[in-house]
């Protein structure tokens, strides 16, 4: 049992941190802005528009928030995968489906409840953001695929 906990913890830590970090890079590429601005946008969920006037401390807050959310999102997947064996066997399908779920929850629940102002999506930016979340889900599923 102790080995299983370590394995699950490692999957959560690795999957969450890698997916969260790559997500920052993807958002930076999609929006063609510096990653520090993406981190301020994340911090704006707590601070509102004032986050964009902040400097490195606000960007660091955004990084901490991003990693915290990513670890929670990874933990949910890992816990589900421990109970549903098919998620480990079909980790690609599970990861893609989870990416869609994460996108929907973030877009229609988390962001609207935050102090952040949600930008209007174009068809292209919507597609880019969905693709980024598919990758996000795949990364988490990859690290969780052998967790029992």
Structural domain count of the chain: 1
What is residue 119's predicted lDDT score, i.e. its pLDDT?
A: 67
Going by C-alpha positions, the residue among 76, 109, 77 that lies closest to residue 96 is 77
**Residue range(s) defining the domain that contains residue 140:** 2-144
What is the pLDDT at residue 1? 57
Q: Could you tell me which residues come within 8 angstroms of residue 112 by beta carbon, excluding any fewer than 6 positions away?
A: 118
The string of pLDDT tens digits covering residues 30-50 is 999 999 999 999 999 999 999
| pLDDT at position 121 | 75
d(C-alpha 31, C-alpha 128), whole Å: 10
Kindly list the averaged pLDDT for each block of 10 residues, start to end, along the chain of length 148: 79 97 96 95 94 95 98 97 94 97 93 80 88 97 92
CB-based burial label for 91 (10 Å; 0-12, 13-18, 19+): buried
Listed in sequence order, the residues at least 6 apart from 101 whose beta carbon sits closer than 8 Å to its beta carbon are 137
pLDDT of residue 126: 87
What is the model's pLDDT at position 122?
A: 84
């Amino acid at each position: 049992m102790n080995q299983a906990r370590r394995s699950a913890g490692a999957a959560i830590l690795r999957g969450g941190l890698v997916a969260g970090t790559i997500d920052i890079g993807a958002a930076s590429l999609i929006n063609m802005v510096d990653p520090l601005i993406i981190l301020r946008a994340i911090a704006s969920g707590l601070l509102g528009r004032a986050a964009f006037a902040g400097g490195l401390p606000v960007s660091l807050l955004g990084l901490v928030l991003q990693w915290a959310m990513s670890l929670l999102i990874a933990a949910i997947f890992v816990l589900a995968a421990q109970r549903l064996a098919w998620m480990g066997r079909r980790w690609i399908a599970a990861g893609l489906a989870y990416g869609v779920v994460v996108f929907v929850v973030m877009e229609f629940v988390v962001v609207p409840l935050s102090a952040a102002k949600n930008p209007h999506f174009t068809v292209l930016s919507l597609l880019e953001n969905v693709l980024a979340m598919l990758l996000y889900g795949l990364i988490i599923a990859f690290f969780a695929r052998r967790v029992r």
